[in-house]
Amino acid sequence: MPPAGQGGSGSPIPDGGSPPAGQGGSGSPIEFRLDPASGVPTYLQLVQQVEHALRLGYLKPGDQLPKVRDVVASLAINPNTVLKAYRELETKGLAAGRPGQGTFIEATLTQVALPELATLRRSLLGWLASADGAGLDEDGIVALFSSALRDFFKGRDGSADPRADGKGGRTGVA
């Protein structure tokens, strides 16, 4: 789920509230949200939200995903879109359908304990406040964060970036 603070993805956030109550009363610990302006296909938004909830520890094996009819009713989307998302989760080995019962989480993704996530989230919120104070709008923050994240992982992998200035900084952007 870009995180809930990014485009309304619906991902539960540690230390910023509790997990969503569930889609249409289905008893699922996740509630899907869509960001039509994100440019990400609807079914992939649903897949990403499940993956993020797994990484954050809000979904675990055995948890039921919202029933297709509940997602369709709450988001006003085509049932085939939800089915496509659930099939993608099955292909990834993260979920499995049970005839007549619904779709259930079968596996989890690497996650950090909730206390560490809460600490990291507070730190990130402080950084976001600084970026906002510096005059960056949401798109500017996303661009800066994405660029820094990309550089971080390139540097961690030992890849040289031809735009680097030799001091750990960059001479170009994006």
Domains in the chain: ranges and CATH = 23-105 (1.10.10.10)
According to the model, what pLDDT value does residue 7 have? Answer: 37
Residues of the chain above pLDDT 70, percent: 72
Could you tell me which residues come within 8 angstroms of residue 121 by beta carbon, excluding any fewer than 6 positions away? 13, 14, 15, 16
Would you say residue 70 has pLDDT above 60? yes
Structure tokens at 119: 């600490």
Other Cβ atoms closer than 10 A to 53:
28
According to the model, what pLDDT value does residue 118 have? Answer: 82
pLDDT digits (tens, 9 = 90+) for 112-155: 666 777 888 899 999 999 999 999 999 999 899 889 888 988 88
Q: How many CA atoms lie within 13 A of 58 on its CB side?
A: 26
pLDDT digits (tens, 9 = 90+) for 2-13: 333 333 334 343
Closest by CA position to 85, among listed 34, 39, 50, 47 = 47
